[in-house]
Amino acid sequence: MKTESQESMLGANMARRSFLRYAGVGAASVGLLATAACHKDHNNPNPTTNGIDLGAKDDFAILNYAYALEQLEAAFYLQVVLTPYSGISASESALLTDIRDHEVLHREFFKAALGAKAIPALTPDFSSINFSSRTSVLAAAKAFEDTGVTAYDGAGYLIADANYLLIAGKIVSVEARHAALISNLITPGTFAGIDVVDPTNSLNKSATIADVLKIANTYLKTKVSAVNYGYVAS
Amino acid sequence: MNLFNIIEEIENIDPEVYGKLSQRRDVIKNITSFGSKVAIAALPFAVGTMFKKAYAADSAAPSVVDVLNYALTLEYLESTFYNAGKAKGTALIPADAAAKYFNQVTTDENNHVTFLKGVITSLGGTPVSLPTIDLTGGNNKGNGPFADVLTNYGTFLAVAQVFEDTGVRAYKGQAGFLLKNQTVLTAALSIHAVEARHASAIRQLRGQTPWITSTAALGNDTGVAAVNGNYDGEQNVTQGGVDVTTLKSATASTTSVAVATAAFDEALSSAQVLALLQGTFLVH
């Protein structure tokens, strides 16, 4: 009988093989494989930067960027469900538990898919959030979800492989569904408010990697940089 | 359709596909603004070409303008629907729901129509004109499966949900044709996100989960069997070659189908979407 850790290692290995296989036959195929072969491991943080760097300018950097944000969201909602705010309703509890489960799965998916290319686990810093306060928790949830949507929307064009872009697309719309729900929990009818959707053309706002990481790092002990996308954590 | 298999299929048909792609990718990288008509004219989109080769039955790979005109057609349908609902006033939509939800959604869809027309024109293309629409889904007979769509709020909500969820799937299905195009892809993704916000809000109004929660057997979670096709494929649990139900969850070593399907929205191709809409909502 296999141990759980053996099984998960096997699973991760299988997933990684699949992932690399797709990378190998993807649109960027030859170049991507060649890059991958001599690619510096993402799990060796660059010592010249403060914390972790997303590494060379390629699809793995963008996927790790997504993985970093999903790690942060998963950690946040795990805490929200573990220590529910006072006065939480059954319906809010169920919805926030669903979101926790989605974010944990997004995190686990990127971890499995990236395999050895994955950045390490990040340590969050939620000291600015009062988990016993509904107002504080929902405000933080809104910040995470809205930032997540602008991050995926803003980084989509940086992805070279259509298969990876499709996966990002499958996730970002779920983040937008979360964002709309959280906004409505705070104030009904603000699911597409002017703070997140441009009222002149009704496009969701998008954000650069630098803008997003600046926000994300305020919730992280392990700071994330993206030197090759013009951002170093301070 | 398994997108991951397509490239392997192309490799069988055209072993030189990689070399051809590398040249085309340079062209794509240079297309970053609407005003770049020269670059647009030279658009042999790698992915589009690949899909064309993989699916010889599809007569033409879409250009950027084709993609935008397809999006415009869907936005026409949505804006016509919400404008018609709004025109009925409180006879159809309760005042509170209009104030908090439908006025916003109606404005957004009308804005999307205006925006897409502007972009298409700026690219040197011609926006498609408003199609003939039958909001009952009856192909111009006005007595389709949603015959009371403008008199019964429940039906109106159900159709709204289907349009929004389908719109999300439709935009997602076009992203690959806009690969590396900073301006157009970013705009398309930004509309896609707003459609998902709408879908979430309308699903909340209907008392559903804001996300599509499928079973292994059925993608459709709306309770309206007539729209099974619009949700077909949402039951998929394999992402990037990984069966995500085998991944650990917050409380167990595996993940339920409900969570696995809700955590990832699935795409639809333009052919799939048009097959659903033409001859029903879009008069054909």
pLDDT tens digits, one per residue of A185-230: 999 999 999 999 999 999 999 999 999 999 999 999 999 999 999 9
A chain contacts of residue B176, beta-carbon cutoff 8 Å? 162, 165-166
Domain assignment present for residue B178? The answer is yes
Domain assignment present for residue A162? The answer is yes
pLDDT band for position A9 (50/70/90)?
very low
Domain assignment present for residue B217? The answer is no
Out of B111, B211, B247, closest to residue A202 by CB = B111
Q: What is the pLDDT of residue B14?
A: 44
- Cβ contact A176–B262 (<8 Å): no
Domain match, B270 and B203 both: yes
Please name the helix (run of DSSP H) or strand (run of DSSP E) that holds residue A215, with its range, or none: helix A209-217
Q: What is the pLDDT of residue A234?
A: 86
pLDDT, tens only, A88-112: 999 999 999 999 999 999 999 999 9
pLDDT, tens only, B260-271: 999 999 999 999
Domain match, B178 and B270 both: yes
Share of chain A above pLDDT 90, in %: 78
Nearest to B180 by CA among A24, A147, A110, A165: A165
- Cβ contact A170–B264 (<8 Å): yes
B chain contacts of residue A174, beta-carbon cutoff 8 Å? 196, 211, 262-265
Q: What is the pLDDT of residue B222?
A: 97
User: How many structural domains does chain B have?
Assistant: 3
pLDDT at B35 over 50: no
Domain match, B25 and B124 both: no
Q: How far apart are CA A102 and CA A106, in angstroms?
A: 6
C-alpha distance from A129 to closest chain B C-alpha (Å)? 21
Domain match, B141 and B248 both: no
pLDDT at B23 over 80: no
Domain assignment present for residue B220? The answer is no
Q: What is the pLDDT of residue B127?
A: 98
Please state the length of chain B.
284
Out of B104, B181, B211, closest to residue A174 by CB = B211
Q: What is the pLDDT of residue A38?
A: 36
Nearest to B201 by CA among A140, A100, A102, A182: A182
Residue B14: which domain range?
Answer: 3-54
Residue of A nearest to B248 (CA): A108
C-alpha distance from A59 to closest chain B C-alpha (Å)? 12
Contact with chain B for residue A83, Cβ under 8 A:
no
* Helix axes of A29-37 and B17-29: crossing angle, nearest 10 degrees: 90
Contact with chain A for residue B248, Cβ under 8 A:
yes
Domain assignment present for residue B78? The answer is yes
Residue A104: which domain range?
Answer: 4-229
pLDDT band for position A24 (50/70/90)?
very low
State the average pLDDT over residues A22-32.
Answer: 33
Domain match, B124 and B9 both: no
pLDDT at B201 over 70: yes
User: How many structural domains does chain A have?
Assistant: 1
Q: What is the pLDDT of residue A27?
A: 34
pLDDT band for position A50 (50/70/90)?
low
Domain assignment present for residue B30? The answer is yes
Domain match, B72 and B142 both: yes
Residue of A nearest to B109 (CA): A202
Domain assignment present for residue A234? The answer is no
pLDDT at A182 over 70: yes
State the average pLDDT over residues A160-172.
Answer: 98
Question: What's the CATH number where A182 sits?
Answer: 1.20.1260.10
Out of B7, B191, B256, closest to residue A25 by CB = B7
Please name the helix (run of DSSP H) or strand (run of DSSP E) that holds residue A165, with its range, or none: helix A162-186
Q: What is the mean pLDDT of chain B?
A: 85
Domain assignment present for residue A12? The answer is yes
pLDDT at A37 over 50: no
pLDDT, tens only, A122-142: 999 999 999 999 999 999 999
Domain match, B88 and B38 both: no
Q: How far apart are CA B126 and CA B124, in angstroms?
A: 7
pLDDT, tens only, B39-81: 333 333 333 333 333 333 445 679 999 999 999 999 999 999 9
Domain assignment present for residue B218? The answer is no
Q: What is the pLDDT of residue B60?
A: 64
| Residues of chain A numbered 115-174 and touching chain B (CB < 8 Å) | 149, 152-154, 156-157, 159-160, 162-167, 169-174
Query: Choosing among A59, A102, A170, which should be mutated to test the B contact, i.e. which has the most B CBs within 10 A?
Result: A170
Contact with chain B for residue A4, Cβ under 8 A:
yes
| 3-state class percentages of chain A: helix first, strand second, coil last, to nearest 5 | 60, 5, 35
pLDDT band for position B22 (50/70/90)?
very low
Out of B193, B239, B244, closest to residue A153 by CB = B193
Domain assignment present for residue B147? The answer is yes
Residue of A nearest to B99 (CA): A189
